[in-house]
């Protein structure tokens, strides 16, 4: 019986802690702050004056390369599927 009580208390306490961790809703000021930060970063990017500019540029290039590689893989998979279907149908 003690194990069931301990498990119940643990469950209730865990639920109470998780309920306290609920994300607070965004305010207009939070949204405005994000817009200002994004605009500042965009201006810094255009003028090459952002903090750690070379690192940020390298990450942007890496993101673009990964996206391009993903598109290439998708295209190759579509071509392979079409070739396989053509081989099966005898065309």
Cα–Cα distance list, 51 to 37, 44, 47, 79 (Å): 13, 8, 11, 43
| Residue 50 and residue 44 in contact, taking contact as beta carbons nearer than 8 Å | yes
Please report the pLDDT score of residue 36 as a whole number. Answer: 87
Q: 35-88, pLDDT tens digit by residue?
A: 888 888 888 888 888 888 889 899 999 999 999 999 999 999 999 999 988 888
Angle subtended by helix axes 53-89 and 28-46, to nearest 10: 90
**Which residue did the predictor score with more confidence, 6 or 89?**
89
Question: Which among 32, 37, 57 has a CA at the least distance from the CA of 46?
Answer: 57
Please report the pLDDT score of residue 10 as a whole number. Answer: 76
Please report the pLDDT score of residue 44 as a whole number. Answer: 85
Alpha helices in the chain (DSSP H): 2-20, 28-46, 53-89
Q: 7-32, pLDDT tens digit by residue?
A: 777 776 766 666 666 666 777 777 88
- Global pTM? 0.48
């Amino acid at each position: 019986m003690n194990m069931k009580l301990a498990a119940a208390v643990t469950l209730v306490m865990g639920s109470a802690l998780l309920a306290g961790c609920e994300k607070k809703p965004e305010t207009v000021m939070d949204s405005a702050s994000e817009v200002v930060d994004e605009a500042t970063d965009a201006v810094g990017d255009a003028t090459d004056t952002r903090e750690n500019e070379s690192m940020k540029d390298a990450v942007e290039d890496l993101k673009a390369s990964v996206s391009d590689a993903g598109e290439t893989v998708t295209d190759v998979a579509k071509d392979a599927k079409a070739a396989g279907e053509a081989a099966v149908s005898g065309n």
